[in-house]
A and B are shown apart, each in its own frame.
Chain A
Amino acid sequence: NAGVTQTPKFQVLKTGQSMTLQCAQDMNHNSMYWYRQDPGMGLRLIYYSASEGTTDKGEVPNGYNVSRLNKREFSLRLESAAPSQTSVYFCASSVRKDDNSPLHFGNGTRLTVT
């Protein structure tokens, strides 16, 4: 059971470059999320998708775009990377957004922007 799969695991970008982080879940969950984690800041929500076909901004959406490609896949795009986007990015999923179901996390992508 793969759960939530993220690719790539590591990435180094130069300022201004673009890239897409991929996420897929095989648990038939409706809701998917992108978080970033910085030292001392906990996990901060970037974007989420409550269900297939919908996306909404979280706490820190500036500089990012997302696509809910289908029920399984939710990608995060950095159009013009900045050093402030150096972080660890986690994708997560849950059965539904507005209930008691917990989040299941992927293994993370460690991104460095130079």
Chain B
Amino acid sequence: QKEVEQNSGPLSVPEGAIASLNCTYSDRGSQSFFWYRQYSGKSPELIMSIYSNGDKEDGRFTAQLNKASQYVSLLIRDSQPSDSATYLCAVRGGGTSYGKLTFGQGTILTVHP
């Protein structure tokens, strides 16, 4: 089992719809969780971080964390073509992996007009 798993996609949604991106992780002691966006040929940029169970909202983005289910998600409301990118989930481990940041393989999102 991979430490951090994402559906690689591609996920295709129409403009204005909600895009839902999911991530599961194996380390129950994981401490912090990040979503990065990466445009083709560019470097990853941080869009959301979440540390405790529940929802965290920032503009059109909502991160959701459920530590019991070892699941973190990113919702993008009112999706725009400019949201088309690869979204990377990153998890910072706990326990013996304390501090180690592991990335999923990324989900490709395409928003079509």
Residues on A lying within 8 angstroms of B by beta carbon are: 35, 40-45, 50, 90, 97-98, 100, 102-108
Task: Supply 4 further A-B pairs (C-beta < 8 A) apart from A97-B99, A105-B45.
Answer: A90-B44, A100-B92, A105-B43, A105-B44
- The interface residues of chain A lying within 8 Å CB-to-CB of B34 are 102-103
Do A45 and B8 form a contact, CB below 8 Å, given A100-B31, A100-B92, A105-B44?
A: no
Tell me which residues from 57 to 90 in chain B have a Cβ below 8 Å from any Cβ of chain A. 88, 90
Which residues of B pack against A, CB within 8 Å?
4, 8, 31-32, 34, 42-46, 49, 51, 88, 90, 92, 98-101, 103-106
Chain B residues with Cβ below 8 Å from A45 are 100-101
What is the bound-complex CA distance between A110 and B31, given in angstroms? 32
The residue of chain B having its C-beta at the shortest distance from the C-beta of A6 within the complex is B43
**Listed A/B pairs (20) with beta-carbon separation below 8 Å:** A35-B103, A41-B105, A42-B4, A42-B88, A42-B104, A42-B105, A43-B103, A44-B103, A45-B100, A45-B101, A90-B43, A98-B99, A100-B32, A100-B49, A100-B51, A103-B34, A103-B44, A103-B46, A103-B90, A105-B43
Instruction: Tell me, rounded to whole Å, the shortest Cβ–Cβ distance linking A82 to chain B.
Output: 23
Closest 6 CB pairs of A and B: A98-B99, A42-B105, A105-B43, A43-B103, A42-B103, A100-B32
* A40 surroundings in chain B (CB, below 8 A): 8, 105
